[in-house]
A and B are shown apart, each in its own frame.
Chain A
Amino acid sequence: MTEPVLQVIDLSMHYTTRQGEVKAVDRVSFELAKGEVIGLVGESGCGKTSVAISLMGLLPDNARVVGGQVLLGGDDLLAMDEEQIREYRWQRISMVFQAAMNALDPVYRVGDQIVEAIETHDPNISNADARDTVDRLFGLVGLDARMAARYPHEFSGGMRQRAVIAMALACQPDVMVADEPTTALDVIVQDRILRQLKAIQRDLSMSMVYITHDIAVVAEVSDRIGVMYAGRLVELGDTSQVFNNPIHPYTASLLSVFPSIHGEKHELVTLGGDLPNLIDPPQGCRFHPRCPHATDVCRRDEPPVVDRDGHWAACWNPLQQWRATSDQ
């Protein structure tokens, strides 16, 4: 493999709340190669969005990174001050947020907002060139160039999401972090945006971290999948390996609870229990209170990493062979 574009090493991030420290991200590590899409999946509160905003250095006031490194082309983003990180954010690493309606300023024309973003990061560019870039970006995401002169309220939900993607592409970043970009959209619109995003990513050979709760979406967009549970990355591997032979029991249950319209209609599987409280996370493996395979050691000690040709999971009782029928 070539030199990774992005390296996340032992990233930990906490929120300070009145109830105590919420350990939202706990020693998460992964690498992203050039032109690769890695999908981060997990349920709400598993820390996937916290990872994203840590990568971007866009933390709310009560959050802080307590350890680890985020290396972008070898430079540690977490060690930089605000002045330095501004050189990287949006130009080298950019982000598409979940709520596209909140990412656009309602009182400015959409085109002007993107022009402003381009001019901020490249003070030497002429206004005409910046406007040409906007036209090109709109074409790329499938928006009519005339829409640039309109206001956000004149855009539908899908069009806003396209505009936000255009804005994230404005400075040709090496890495794009997409946080549930299609979650609020209807399936037909989602389908179009996913296809377009994938095509752009391929054409520009851009690297992408795609964050979602929807395993069907990651199955379609990502080369590799990282599964998060309670602030930890519990499994990482090639998409087809993770889907066909999951190692971690949580991954297996996540795959089997997902209802599908294709194949045999199998029994609805449920996963008992609730997500753990991250102020005081369970000892040992964080999944043990809900895990059907939990043993004493899981309740006591941190799980070891099981590596099968680069597809790994952190588990004491890794699954050997998954029921091959259940992904049908």
Chain B
Amino acid sequence: MTSDQQPTNQSLSTDHRPFVTVKGLTKLFPVSRSLFRGPRAFIHAVDDVSFELQEGERFGLVGESGCGKTTIGKLLVKLQDPTQGSITFRDTENVLSDQPNDSGYADISKTKGQQLKAFRHKVQMIFQDPYESMNPRRTIFDTVAEPLVVQGIGNSLEQLDRVANLLELVGLTPPETMMFRYPHELSGGQRQRVAIARALVVEPGFVVADEPTSMLDVSISTGIMRLMLDLAERLGVTYLYITHDLAVARYMCQRIAVMYLGKIVEVAETEELLSNPLHPYTRALLSAVPVPDPGHRREPVNIVGDVATPINPHPRCRFHDRCPMATEVCYDSPHPPLVDHGNGHLVACYRV
């Protein structure tokens, strides 16, 4: 913020250090609490998760319901606070932390007040359900302009201009008439475009998209996917893209992390993950995806049982009870760490 820090900032913006660093992120939710005793059991929604995002990267979190992917998204935009661990954002302008520091990074766990407002300017979220995430009594203009009003950006004429531009950008045309409609007048696809416009109106550097297309029909959802890819390229936005659908992740993400019961079990570049899955869970997940080709015969899914509950889980591998490859080491040792198997293909498994 002060002028003497300017030179350091300049040099930092050209380095290759990560844009977002997540270290040891853990979120526990208490499941039983009484008046006199503290909670005894916890859902380990996210359990010691670490990863890094580069600037402009589109990173996917994939997994079944309850694996903790949405919780990570909420932690990253600070809708929830982690139980343990740190989330650090690149902060070359030093606006996210109240302590002056010249590292160019800010841990957002302590961010509040003015700094939190600055954080909300940089980080936005797109929610899954376009029917529930908008106030039905407010016009599209009110909805999209709200972040500008909160952030105090521009006067009302400039805001009008900005909203019109954004609506044009997301394909809601003509903006002059769309602006003064209400959500109930729009289709699901149009609403999701409004949600994208609302997230991008403050020009954030980082967007968490939580299954933005899963409620939409295919012919509509590919349009939204193309729009988001196009905007990512044009505006250089870094995405965390959360989805249960590997085919969608293939198109939206450059790198994919597969989650199982609060843990990341495998991370790799998208095509590498799809063509060479190493973790037995990833393999099962891939072979369970139906193929839109009647001539194709899928391999049978070779895992047994159902997902266990993440309530006070054993410290051993989360997947041991369903794994076709599990041996003694999987039962006797703690959850395996993510190990690099070449070219940044990380796998958490003793048997790979």
- Listed in ascending order, the chain A residues whose CB lies under 8 Å from chain B are 43-44, 156, 158, 186-192, 194, 213-217, 219-220, 239-240, 243, 253-255, 257-262, 265, 268-272, 274-275, 327-328
Write out the residue numbers on chain A whose beta carbons fall within 8 Å of the beta carbon of B246: 261
- Can you show 24 pairs from A to B with CB atoms below 8 A apart? A156-B306, A186-B65, A187-B244, A187-B289, A190-B290, A192-B301, A213-B218, A214-B290, A219-B294, A220-B294, A243-B293, A255-B292, A257-B222, A259-B247, A259-B248, A259-B250, A259-B251, A261-B289, A265-B271, A270-B226, A271-B223, A274-B187, A274-B189, A275-B217
Alpha-carbon separation in the docked complex, A328 to B247 (Å): 14
Write out the residue numbers on chain B whose beta carbons fall within 8 Å of the beta carbon of A254: 218-219
4 A-B pairs with the lowest CB-CB distances in the bound complex, closest first: A216-B290, A43-B217, A271-B219, A186-B64
| Contact across chains for B219 and A327 when beta carbons are under 8 A apart | no
Known: A190-B288, A265-B251. A43 touches B218 (CB 8 A): yes
| Contact across chains for A188 and B303 when beta carbons are under 8 A apart | yes
Alpha-carbon separation in the docked complex, A272 to B65 (Å): 31
Alpha-carbon separation in the docked complex, A259 to B294 (Å): 15
Q: Mark B246-270, 1 if CB is under 8 A from A, else 0.
A: 1110110000000000000000000
Judge if B225 is at the interface, Cβ distance under 8 Å. Answer: yes
Give A147 Cβ to nearest chain B Cβ, in Å: 13
How many chain-B residues does the 8 Å CB contact rule pick out? 39
Write out the residue numbers on chain B whose beta carbons fall within 8 Å of the beta carbon of A191: 287-288, 290, 301
Alpha-carbon separation in the docked complex, A154 to B323 (Å): 24
| Contact across chains for A216 and B217 when beta carbons are under 8 A apart | no
- Count, A-B residue pairs, CB within 8 A: 111
Judge if B284 is at the interface, Cβ distance under 8 Å. Answer: yes
| Contact across chains for A187 and B64 when beta carbons are under 8 A apart | yes
Alpha-carbon separation in the docked complex, A253 to B303 (Å): 35
Judge if B12 is at the interface, Cβ distance under 8 Å. Answer: no
Give A220 Cβ to nearest chain B Cβ, in Å: 5
Alpha-carbon separation in the docked complex, A255 to B294 (Å): 12
Write out the residue numbers on chain B whose beta carbons fall within 8 Å of the beta carbon of A220: 290-291, 294, 298
Q: Which of B223, B271, B301 makes the CB contact (< 8 A) with A188? A: B301
Judge if B152 is at the interface, Cβ distance under 8 Å. Answer: no
Q: A216-B290, A257-B222, A258-B247 are in contact. List 18 more A-B contacts (CB 8 A).
A: A44-B217, A188-B284, A189-B306, A215-B292, A219-B290, A219-B294, A243-B294, A255-B292, A259-B250, A260-B293, A261-B274, A262-B293, A268-B222, A268-B251, A270-B219, A274-B189, A275-B187, A275-B217
Write out the residue numbers on chain A whose beta carbons fall within 8 Å of the beta carbon of B286: 261
Write out the residue numbers on chain B whose beta carbons fall within 8 Å of the beta carbon of A188: 64, 284-285, 288, 301, 303
Q: Mark B181-208, 1 if CB is under 8 A from A, else 0.
A: 0000001011000000000000000000
Give A159 Cβ to nearest chain B Cβ, in Å: 8
Give B1 Cβ to nearest chain A Cβ, in Å: 42
Write out the residue numbers on chain B whose beta carbons fall within 8 Å of the beta carbon of A260: 247, 291-293
Alpha-carbon separation in the docked complex, A313 to B30 (Å): 57
- Listed in ascending order, the chain B residues whose CB lies under 8 Å from chain A are 64-65, 187, 189-190, 217-220, 222-223, 225-226, 229, 244, 246-248, 250-251, 271, 274, 284-296, 298, 301, 303, 306
Alpha-carbon separation in the docked complex, A239 to B292 (Å): 11
| Contact across chains for A327 and B293 when beta carbons are under 8 A apart | yes
Known: A44-B217, A257-B219, A261-B250. A187 touches B292 (CB 8 A): no
Alpha-carbon separation in the docked complex, A255 to B285 (Å): 23
| Contact across chains for A213 and B217 when beta carbons are under 8 A apart | yes
Write out the residue numbers on chain A whose beta carbons fall within 8 Å of the beta carbon of B296: 219, 262
Alpha-carbon separation in the docked complex, A275 to B190 (Å): 12
Give B175 Cβ to nearest chain A Cβ, in Å: 18
| Contact across chains for A265 and B284 when beta carbons are under 8 A apart | no
Alpha-carbon separation in the docked complex, A220 to B250 (Å): 21
Alpha-carbon separation in the docked complex, A271 to B222 (Å): 8
| Contact across chains for A219 and B292 when beta carbons are under 8 A apart | yes
